[in-house]
Amino acid sequence: MFTFQLQHTDPKSAARAGQIETAHGSIQTPIFMPVGTLGTVKGVHQRELESDIKAQIILGNTYHLYLRPGLEILEQAGGLHGFNGWKRPMLTDSGGYQVYSLSAQRKINEEGVTFRSHIDGSSHTFTPERAIDIQRIIGADIIMAFDECPPYPCDYEYAKNSMELTHRWLDRCVKRMAETGGKYGYEQTLFPIVQGSTYPDLRRKSAETIAAAGQPGNAIGGLSVGEPAEDMYETTDQVCGILPKDKPRYLMGVGTPENILECIALGVDMFDCVLPTRNARHGMLYTSEGIINIKNAKWKDDFSAVDANNPCYASQQYSKAYLRHLMHTKELLGPQIASLHNLSFYLWLVGEARRHIIAGDFASWKEEMVKRVQRRL
RNA sequence: GGGGGUGCGCCGGAGUUGGAGAGCCGGGCCAGACUGUAAAUCUGGUGACUUUGUCUGAAUAGGUUCGAAUCCUAUCACCCCCA
């Protein structure tokens, strides 16, 4: 049974600490969820996810997993948990983000979205019902409603029509959820998604509609698609003010460490983002002292730990000079160490946020931390 | 010791039948970007300087020519063959 318990509320901000229960275990919020699009968090072993990074929940992606390995294999394996062996909670995105990211090769109509596969060009239609059915087969604990993530900038008419379409699709997702059940003997929970671009009246309407759907948790989509950070914060603030307090709020696709800290302060409980893993593979490290481009020449003879303040094994064990060497020589271990480090930093960051919310000094800690994490070293 | 061949960018290629070069393609190097992952990807820079441009530059030194990376001479380096 999916539950959310609100444990503490920060006196000086809207930040909250809570706990989610799922069939695969509990999640302490606020939380960051590493992205594992293809059923793997790129470059990271699950043992590292558990013991070094302390990930409590990871993501998978409906669109990508549907294409490969495909539903037949996933069903035979007993869902994605059975396939990749991850024992803890999982969440799947519905493919809604691919409506945005693969916009050059898809067509939207009332019924759904037809994608041209980025792998072989074949044609595949996702409807809200289909997105639910596929996510039932993947077997994630939390499954996302099928939505359209509109681009930024986006004119008012487009944003309004898109939002209304997403709302109609939500009704179909909810209906399909009610008609079906978990394939593997445990419950799956649907999160609907607020849209409306950066238009306050649309966001209000959408947040009210999503709240009224009465699902156990709610998500905010359509942000971190290129809009100024201030717009992201204003929209998140507004929407959090409307979404119910007693249910978790998931801000999709966000973000940088400072984005996450600011949005925790606005009342967000769950985050996911590809930045810590993608940027790690590209040599960008997030540390307690600021941002490092480990490929830069200035680290070539710096034998200090990647991040002495990060208790993660990889951050302590390897020096900046060595990690730079690995990245420069394109050794596979380089991106692995960097990914391990960045994710452990993200999980450390949200863990600290939670600790300070409970201790009652979150607001002042956050102000100090925001300054530190965005420094360029 | 004799004969033949090749020399331009940090490296490797392409190009050259006397006619526009700071200049093609890779790599390296130096930076930058990345936000519900078509991303171990992409973009820019990489002779010098007083930078809307100017100067130097095809192994080195000369020569022929209106004009030379291209032809000639010498020297140097490397490669191949013969002894």
* Domain extent for A27: 3-274
CA–C1' nearest nucleotide, residue A282: B40
Closest C-alpha to A16, from A364, A367, A350 = A350
d(CA A49, CA A57): 9
The spacing between the Cα labelled CA in A328 and the C1' in B27, in angstroms, equals 13
Whole-number distance in Å between A50 CA and B19 C1': 70
Instruction: Residue A141: give its domain's CATH number.
Output: 3.20.20.105
Number of domains forming the structure of chain A: 1
Domain membership of residue A373 (yes or no) is: no
Helix (H, G, I), strand (E, B) or coil at A172: helix
> What does the DSSP assignment read for A252-265?
TT--SHHHHHHHHH
pLDDT at A1: 87
Q: Could you tell me the pLDDT band of residue A94, with boundaries at 50, 70 and 90?
A: very high
Residue A306 lies in a domain: no
Distance in Å from B74's C1' to A184's CA comes to: 88
Gap from A310 CA to B18 C1', Å: 67
Which amino acid does the sequence have at A120?
D
End-to-end alpha carbon distance in chain A: 46
Of all nucleotides in the shown strands, which has a C1' nearest the CA of A91? Answer: B36
Contact positions of strand B to protein Cβ (< 7 A)? 28-42
What are the Cα distances from residue A172, in Å, to A111, A336, A377?
A: 10, 41, 49
Q: Which nucleotide is nearest to A117 (CA to C1')?
A: B38
Evaluate whether residue A256 is within a structural domain.
yes
The whole-number average pLDDT for the span A122-145 is 98
| Strand B close residues, chain A 104-133, CB < 7 angstroms | 104-105, 118
Q: Is residue A8 part of a domain?
A: yes
Mean residue pLDDT of chain A comes to: 97
Q: Is residue A363 part of a domain?
A: no
Residues of A designated catalytic: 93, 272
Strand B closer than 7 A to residue A268 Cβ: no
A74-84 per-residue burial string, b: 16 or more CB within 10 A, e: under 16:
bbebebbbebb
> CA of A294 vs C1' of B66, distance in Å?
57
Strand B closer than 7 A to residue A59 Cβ: yes
A282 CB neighbours strand B below 7 A: yes
Q: How far is the CA of A325 from the C1' of B55 (A)?
A: 39
- Strand B closer than 7 A to residue A283 Cβ: yes
Q: How far apart are CA A158 and CA A278, in angstroms?
A: 30
Q: What does DSSP say about strands A142-144 and A90-93: parallel, antiparallel, or unpaired?
A: parallel
Predicted model pTM: 0.94
Contact predicate A375/A287, CB 8 Å: no
Q: Is the CB of A333 under 7 A from strand B?
A: no
Give CA separation, A59 vs A48, A56, A141, A174, A372, in Å: 16, 11, 10, 21, 28
Q: Is residue A143 part of a domain?
A: yes
Please, which pLDDT band fits residue A79 given cuts at 50, 70 and 90?
Answer: very high
A330 touches strand B (CB under 7 A): yes
Name the nucleotide nearest A232; use CA and C1': B35
pLDDT tens for A224-233 read: 999 999 999 9
A277 CB contact with strand B at below 7 Å: yes
Name the nucleotide nearest A277; use CA and C1': B37
A371 in a structural domain: no
Backbone phi, then psi, for A117, in 5-degree steps?
-50, 135
A297 touches strand B (CB under 7 A): yes
Residue A100 one-letter amino acid: Y
A23: in domain: yes
The model's pLDDT over A181-197, given as tens digits with 9 standing for 90+, comes to: 999 999 999 999 999 99
Q: Does residue A149 contact residue A225 with C-beta atoms inside 8 Å?
A: yes
Within A 152-191, residues with CB less than 7 Å from strand B = none
Grade residue A216 by pLDDT with cuts at 50, 70 and 90.
very high
Interface predicted TM-score (ipTM): 0.94
Contact flag, residue A295 CB and nucleic strand B, below 7 A: yes
**CB-based contacts of A56: which residues, under 8 Å, 6+ apart?**
A25, A26, A27, A28, A31, A33, A88, A89
Give the percent of chain A with pLDDT over 90.
98
**E-assigned strands of A55-198?**
58-61, 90-93, 106-108, 113-116, 123-126, 142-144, 189-191, 193-194
Report residues 13-32 of A contacting strand B, contact meaning Cβ closer than 7 Å. none
Query: What pLDDT sits at residue A106?
Result: 95
Could you give the C-alpha distances from A41 to A6, A22, A90, A108, in angstroms and in order? 29, 21, 12, 30
Q: Is the C-beta of residue A279 closer than 7 Å to nucleic acid chain B?
A: yes
pLDDT tens-digit readout, A24-42: 999 999 999 999 999 999 9
Taking only the tens place, the pLDDT of each residue in A263-278 is 999 999 999 999 999 9
Output the six-digit token pair for A297.
């020449």
Q: Which of A289, A242, A236 is nearest to A264 (CA)?
A: A236
* Residue linked to tokens 């609100």: A6
- Give A296 CA → B31 C1' in Å: 8
